[in-house]
Amino acid sequence: MRRLPSLNGLRAFEAAARHGSFTGAAGELNVSQAAVSRMVRLLEERLGFPLFERRANALVPTPRGRALQPGLTAAFDAIERSVDAVSAMRTGPVLTVGVGATFAVRWLIPRLGGFHAEHPEIEVRIATGGASQPIRDDWTCGIVLGDGHWPGHTVEPLFTAGMLPVCAPSLASSLRRPEDLPGATLLSNSQWPNDWAQWFAAAGLPAPSTRELSFGSYAMALQAALDGVGVTLGIGPYIVDDVAAGRLVAPFPLAVPMGRSWYLVSRPARRDDPGFAAFRAWLCARAAAESPAS
């Protein structure tokens, strides 16, 4: 068991030592000057030594008082931080969404403000997902690109995935017809090595024999297109905002299905979670509203 002096006395001494007066401490602690003086005197009696030299116009800490005050200040600061942290803890639902990084940056995150405005009580956490592990045990749900086959999970379609050429406006003027594409710098994603071959086949054209620039992720290829490096194959949700803002242009309307779609994947046990129910309704409504552009 801790044998501590009166905490009120310690608070009174610490405040008086910081302010250099009982008056300043009384104002901070919202008590009278006489009460502060009495609490400090009782503390000194308990400790068995003086903490202040009481002079006519000054309150001067003794050597022991000067040694005691920094530790008390640090301790009270730590208590204040702990109380603030606990007070700031959310009591509402926590929603953890596993999602691919590109989908999160290009589509989900720009729209999360709308969800938060509707449901400020829900704490949203975004985690990074992947095709090999579409949903982890500690996630509420996942937004996954695939074939829709995840046994043991509830799967709901969100977007179909179609690819069409996109580039910066500065390059679009030189692309009047699909036959002009082989003369442009084609940007490829090494994770989808047959993307351009699929598109050219759908357009009735032979695929170029070489690719000029290949990137390790779709996000990098898309950024290169935004920077005017060349033409990449844009995928619905990833490019909708850039096209709407004029940062990217789709010179040809032909979109080739990838054979995969985005799905909301969850476990049946999560169905009645308040955070998930709200997020599911919001996400499905947004996907339905934007599906013509996807």
Chain centroid, CA 220 distance in Å:
20
pTM for the whole thing? 0.65
Domain ranges of the chain: 7-87, 90-294
Task: In whole angstroms, give the CA distance from residue 257 to residue 169.
Answer: 24
Q: What is the CATH number of domain 90-294?
A: 3.40.190.290
| Residue pair 143/263 in contact by the 8 Å Cβ criterion | yes
Structurally, at CATH architecture level, domain 7-87 sits in Orthogonal Bundle (1.10)
| Residue pair 199/233 in contact by the 8 Å Cβ criterion | yes
Reported as a single tens digit per residue, the pLDDT across 76-126 is 989 988 887 776 665 678 889 999 888 999 999 999 999 999 999 898 999
Terminal-to-terminal C-alpha distance of the chain: 66
| Residue pair 185/231 in contact by the 8 Å Cβ criterion | yes
Say whether 208 sits in a helix, a strand or coil.
coil
Reported as a single tens digit per residue, the pLDDT across 252-268 is 999 998 888 899 999 88
